[in-house]
Amino acid sequence: MNHTQKQPHARLLVVDDSLDELRLLKQLLDAHNFQLSVAFDGHQGYTRAQLLQPDLILLDVQMPRMDGFAACRLLKADPRTRHIPIIFLTAAQSTQERLTGLSIGGVDYVIKPFSAEEVLARIHIHLKLSTRGMTVADALDQGLKHTPDEVLLQAGIQLIRSCLHEPLTVEDIARRLGSYEKKLSAVFRQHTDLTVFAYLREERLKQARNWLAETESSIQAIAEQLGFQNAGNFATAFRERFEVSPSTYRKMMRCAAVANVSNAS
């Protein structure tokens, strides 16, 4: 593949705790006129991305202190960095890991040990796509600033909403964000007046309400899909929140829909 078309102004941030991998990538990318910066863990990578505003990030998955997934969640929750394309670097070839990385905002994967031609091809592709795909909203976002707590909050909310089906604990959520339970709990209480668990429960119940009204899924199935231990626990929680049982709420919504159709005709 021909890579004679160089991009001398493209700024890349490589985040990897392996000095050998960094050395190889530096040699490769320096030879192709990229402006290169490096970081050695996810936290340092997130901080440098805020400061440097690179055009693309190559992000290792398995790192100490903060892994690549946690760093990606923060980067995508921050208006200053959410537009930056992230290519994950990983030695693992697990389909589930790749799906996780793509679902939280990564645009691609490079499997280690990597081929120089493949790394360059993927970088060039996503730099071009990123330039074409930049929207007015993305440009405006870059001028916004969130405090570290606000970024952590938004990353936590996005994680919760995408994992309602999982039996999450506060410790699980904090770990996936590269934070710790006490810090995350304080941020949620300050900004939402709810504990992390209460916020998670509220999001599950709001989703349950939507599914009861809009789908034919059984109450048991809805309970399972939203991480409740069983239909009984789900029904109790739903009744406490909305003062009506799930089955009664579904009947009310169906009656309302029928009435709306009759009125319209």
pTM for this structure? 0.82
pLDDT confidence bin for 164, thresholds 50/70/90: very high
Task: Answer whether 11's CB lies under 8 Å from 32's CB.
Answer: no
pLDDT value at residue 143: 54
Average pLDDT value for residue range 107-131? 91
Instruction: Report whether pLDDT(258) > 80.
Output: no
Q: Sort strands 56-60 and 108-111 into parallel, antiparallel or unpaired.
A: unpaired
**Residue 6: how many CA atoms within 13 Å on its side-chain side?**
11
Instruction: Report whether pLDDT(7) > 60.
Output: no
Task: Answer whether 39's CB lies under 8 Å from 12's CB.
Answer: no
Q: Sort strands 56-60 and 86-90 into parallel, antiparallel or unpaired.
A: parallel
Average pLDDT value for residue range 6-25? 86
Contacts of 181 by beta carbon, 8 Å cutoff, 6+ apart: 170, 171, 174
Residue indicated by tokens 């505003």: 53
**Across 32-41, 88-97, 129-138, 181-190, least confident range:** 129-138
pLDDT value at residue 142: 54
The structural domains of the chain, ordered by start, are: 11-141 (3.40.50.2300), 148-264 (1.10.10.60)
86-95 pLDDT tens trace:
999 988 778 8
Q: Give dist(CA 161, CA 57) in Å, integer.
A: 25
